Structure formats: structure tokens, C-alpha cells
């Protein structure tokens, strides 16, 4: 079995949520105004909303989180013969990573000591790997998504540190949506611009991206 298959197998039914949202967006107001050729701020609020949605679309397709945020990922069972794969990236660091689980009828009150595992946060994709001689807990756990992994992801804490491909993919996607602010467009013939937003995302897409 290839390593990608082993990682995907540990993900099970992919289930995660953002517990701490990004404090900024990857494109600044000045970049939005310049890219959309807006000369005044009257439409800036709507443009910001569109670019936020575009950023979320870029993140969903690429499996990357652009601005630093905290993820809670849930698993159905401990992996057997495989690492505990981290679905999203890039992982910020091993600091702040917590492996917790819930006992039967309880919340996520138990933690697996960080001395029992190590985080391959510099690899892509990253994972939690048990150290030699260690094992996952064998206690009876809650029935629904009993395991929770908390970790931080992102390239930067501000727009200035966001990678060029992510900024451009966000701007290209957002500009298209801003120019077509209706659910349906009729009477036109359209084609995708070569090497546009999707190409940028595809080049940097996570091996575990599932959308």
C-alpha cells in the first residue's frame, strides 16, 4: 500500500472544524482595490466579502490553510500500522498540537502524553507518529468520533507573508465572482483562462486534498 493510501486510511470519514479562525485575510484592501480596478471604497465591503469566500474556496480545493488558524480534526478509531494523518497543512509547528480522546459517555477529557508521539510538522503531509515502544490507549471510548487532534496550520499570520500562489488564486477567483454577482449568467460563451486559479491551486495541492 502506498503511503498516501495509508494516510488516507487513518483519516477515515474526514471530519474537521476550524476552532480558531484566521485573524487576517491573504490579500490586503490595497491589493483588492488594485486587482479589481476600483478607484473608491464604495464597493470595498462587498469586495472583501467576495475575497473572503474566494480564500475559503482556495483553501478547500488545495487542502492548504493560508493564514494561521487552529484546526480540530476528529477520527473514528486509532490507526493500526499507520500514522495519525493530519488532513490539512502546512502545519505551523508541533507546539500546540494536542491528541485527546473521550471516554464512553464523556467529552474529550483525556490526552495522550506528548512524550508518546512525535509530530512530523515539517513533512507534507504531516502526521502524528507513535514513538518506539508506545501504543495508543486501549480503553473504551465514546462511540461518535472519539479521537480529536488539535493543531495549528497556515503559512503566515498576515497578508504580507502569504505565498504568491495563494494570493493570486484568491484574487483571480474573487475577481471572477465580483464581476459575476449573480447565480446564473446567460447569453455568453466562456472558457477558462489557461494557467489561471485552478492551475495555481493544483500545483500546490495537498496529497490528501479530497474536494
Q: CA of 115: how far to CAs of 69, 98, 135, in Å?
A: 24, 11, 11
Alpha helices by DSSP H, listed for the chain, are: 3-11, 29-35, 44-62, 164-179, 197-203
pLDDT tens-digit series, residues 17-76? 999 999 999 999 999 999 999 988 899 999 999 999 999 999 999 999 999 999 999 999
Residues 6+ apart with CB under 8 A from 208: 4, 7, 8, 11, 63, 85, 87, 125
* 120-162 pLDDT, tens digit each: 999 989 999 999 999 999 999 998 899 999 999 999 999 999 9
- pLDDT of 189 > 80? The answer is no
> How does strand 117-119 pair with strand 98-101?
unpaired
Q: Is the pTM of this model over 0.75?
A: yes
Q: Which pLDDT score, from 0 to 100, does residue 183 have? A: 78
Amino acid at each position: 500500500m502506498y503511503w498516501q493510501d495509508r494516510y488516507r486510511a487513518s483519516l477515515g470519514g474526514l471530519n474537521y472544524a476550524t476552532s480558531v479562525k484566521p485573524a487576517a485575510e491573504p490579500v490586503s484592501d490595497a491589493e483588492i482595490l488594485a486587482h479589481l480596478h476600483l478607484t473608491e471604497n464604495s464597493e470595498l465591503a462587498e469586495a472583501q466579502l467576495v475575497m473572503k469566500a474566494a480564500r475559503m474556496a482556495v483553501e478547500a480545493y488545495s487542502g492548504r490553510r493560508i493564514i494561521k488558524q487552529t484546526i480540530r480534526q476528529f477520527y473514528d478509531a486509532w490507526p493500526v500500522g499507520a500514522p495519525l494523518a493530519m488532513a490539512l497543512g502546512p502545519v505551523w509547528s508541533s507546539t500546540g498540537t494536542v491528541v485527546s480522546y473521550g471516554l464512553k459517555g464523556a467529552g474529550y477529557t483525556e490526552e495522550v502524553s506528548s512524550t508518546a508521539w512525535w509530530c512530523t510538522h515539517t513533512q507534507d503531509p504531516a502526521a502524528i507518529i507513535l514513538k518506539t515502544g508506545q501504543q495508543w490507549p486501549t480503553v473504551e471510548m465514546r462511540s461518535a468520533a472519539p479521537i480529536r487532534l488539535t493543531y495549528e496550520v497556515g503559512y503566515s499570520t498576515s497578508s504580507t507573508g502569504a505565498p504568491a500562489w495563494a494570493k493570486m488564486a484568491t484574487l483571480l477567483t474573487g475577481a471572477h465572482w465580483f464581476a459575476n454577482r449573480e447565480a446564473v449568467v446567460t447569453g455568453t460563451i466562456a472558457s477558462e483562462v489557461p494557467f489561471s486559479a485552478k492551475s495555481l491551486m493544483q500545483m500546490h495541492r495537498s496529497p490528501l486534498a479530497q474536494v
